[in-house]
Amino acid sequence: MTDYKTNSLLPQFPHSYWLEHDVPRYPTLTEDMKTEVGVIGGGIIGILTAYLLAKAGKQVTLIEARELLSGVTGNTTAKVTAQTSMIYNELISTFGEEKARLYYEANTEGMHSIEQIAKELSIDCDWETKDASIYASTAKGFKQLEKESRAYETLAIDGVLTNGQVNELPFKTTGALTMPDQAQFHPVKFLAPLLNEIERLGGSIYERTRAIKVCKGKMRVHLENGFSLDCDKVVVATHYPFNDFQGLYFSKLSIERSYSLVATTDAPLVNGMYISAESPSRSLRSVRNDKGEDFLLIGGDSHQTGKSSEPNQEHYQNLEDFGKRYFAIKDIPYHWSAQDMTTLDKVPYVGQMIRSTPNILLATGFNKWGMAMGATAAKVLTDNVLNKSNAYADLFDPLRNKLKAKDVQQFTWKNTSVGKDLVVTKAKRPTMTPDDLEPDQGGLVSVDGKKVGGYRDASGHVHLVKTTCTHMGCGLNWNDAERSWDCPCHGSRFTYAGEVIDGPAVKPLEKLDNSCACKHQH
């Protein structure tokens, strides 16, 4: 059974606050189909790209493997900002001043783009202009802020460095770096109306329609159910590219999971948006629901997917403990988690995916900052399809030849680490049998001397699966917070019943017969 502290405020199962808002539902594609542009992925980038292309007169078909907005976009902290943690000092050293400034402009343009679309279509998405701040709690952290502040000055970025205590934060700080006039919003309230607009403009939308392969010759997208979608152009906006063997993207992306909760409190809420300079990360913002009730959103406690050093549930508990200690939180109606990729040089890959064809486009690697940058990515992809120039295309080019010494080091570390993960996970041995599992408990179990994955649901039924990732064969680790099997190599995730949650895997886990695995039901 998932271990909850007796005084924990956390609900038993995670659920995102944003996904309480209604999302239109769409059918599964159950026939072969042709379209001008196939957009794969129903998050902010896929939906905005489909909307912009449909608005430009293109015949667009948007498909999503699960339910629309059920991925990272529906499980975000929903900050819309060019202050993507401490990045600009690093970008100057890796890309130079011109491209570092361009990265800032791309985020700023994306932020304004979301605001403009919301105004044009009269979408109430709880848009609020807020200052964004990175705060430090140590002398070392403040030195990092000073470096980043100098980068702001070099790049002519509007920012203010303050020394000492941040007045509205109830814990000790040594300073903060503030970027004024950023924003926060409700991503589902913003994107759900765009789905209706895509249809109104002649686009087609399908969910529970998983793409498993793109054939670059005929530009045919093969679906899990045996049907296909023929396209002139394909946009892969699936978070982690499901066709990652094309371009070897599995070797270029690292992946981290992070956590969020929404809590009630009588303590004063933060007025701005905050993120910590130090680890473990802490992210703060306010949330107001439709009844006018105010909540505090606390995020952070990130770790590499499938590689938590403690049970995953502890990360939620760490956020709860932080909230109790500093904000006297009283209730936690919602908690959720998400994961995101980081590229070798921390700049997203947006554009032509592989050298051999210009007709497969990609967007991935947003380093946990995919709202503002996602909107700009959608414009870059749209301009590519329409054969228009875009000021950010070169910066985000997935085929950029910028594998500098630091990138080579990161590339080598990542792929050596994957090899170690493969060995470590394969070597793990179960300490339980299926009969030992309590309701709502999962983990590695032994069945007839073989290692398998087991989970006993609330009704007492035990689900057994083979814990070998269907992407590249890595062993999977149990995630007790999400009741999922997570891959430490490339971040694929599967339900306890073996269905794919997150790619790059596209095939479900092998299910095993449990008819003789359990002696009795608890």
> Residues in the chain, how many?
522
According to DSSP, the β-strands at 60-63 and 33-40 are parallel
* The pLDDT of residue 253: 81
Least trusted range by pLDDT, from 45-54, 123-132, 408-417 = 408-417
* 243 pLDDT tier (thresholds 50, 70, 90): low
Evaluate whether 254 touches 341 at the Cβ level (below 8 Å).
yes
Q: Would you call 425 helix, strand, or coil by DSSP?
A: helix
Sign of CA dihedral 305, 377, 260, 440: negative
Rounded Cα gap, residues 330 and 136, in angstroms: 26
Rounded Cα gap, residues 183 and 80, in angstroms: 5
Name every residue whose Cβ is closer than 8 Å to that of residue 440 and which is 6 or more positions away in sequence.
1, 2, 12, 456, 457, 458, 483
* The pLDDT of residue 518: 47
* 411 pLDDT tier (thresholds 50, 70, 90): very low
Residue appearing with tokens 């070099």: 154
* 433 pLDDT tier (thresholds 50, 70, 90): confident
Q: Is residue 116 packed enough to be buried (19+ CB in 10 Å), middle (13-18) or exposed (0-12)? A: exposed
Beta strands in 42-101 (DSSP E): 60-63, 79-80
Which CATH number describes the domain made up of 434-502? 2.102.10.10
* 356 pLDDT tier (thresholds 50, 70, 90): confident
Reported as a single tens digit per residue, the pLDDT across 449-499 is: 889 999 999 999 999 999 999 988 889 999 888 898 989 888 888 999 999
* The pLDDT of residue 311: 83
Section 234-239 average pLDDT: 91
Name every residue whose Cβ is closer than 8 Å to that of residue 307 and which is 6 or more positions away in sequence.
421, 477, 488
* Angle between helical axes of 97-120 and 372-385 (0-180°, round to 10): 90
* The pLDDT of residue 242: 62
The predicted model scores a pTM of 0.89
Reported as a single tens digit per residue, the pLDDT across 307-338 is: 777 888 999 999 999 999 999 999 999 999 98
* Angle between helical axes of 97-120 and 187-200 (0-180°, round to 10): 70
Least trusted range by pLDDT, from 129-133, 248-252, 435-439 = 248-252
Rounded Cα gap, residues 256 and 368, in angstroms: 9
* The pLDDT of residue 343: 83
The amino acid present at 396, given as its one-letter code, is F
Which residues share a beta bridge with 263?
Answer: 296
Query: Which residue from 243, 209, 226 is spatially nearest to 503, judged by alpha carbons?
Result: 243
What ranges do the domains of the chain cover?
434-502
* The pLDDT of residue 246: 60
Q: What share of the chain has pLDDT > 70, as a percent?
A: 89
Reported as a single tens digit per residue, the pLDDT across 148-183 is: 999 999 999 999 999 999 999 999 999 999 999 999
Least trusted range by pLDDT, from 142-151, 343-352, 356-365, 400-409 = 400-409
On average, the pLDDT of the chain sits at 90
pLDDT higher than threshold 60 for residue 412? no
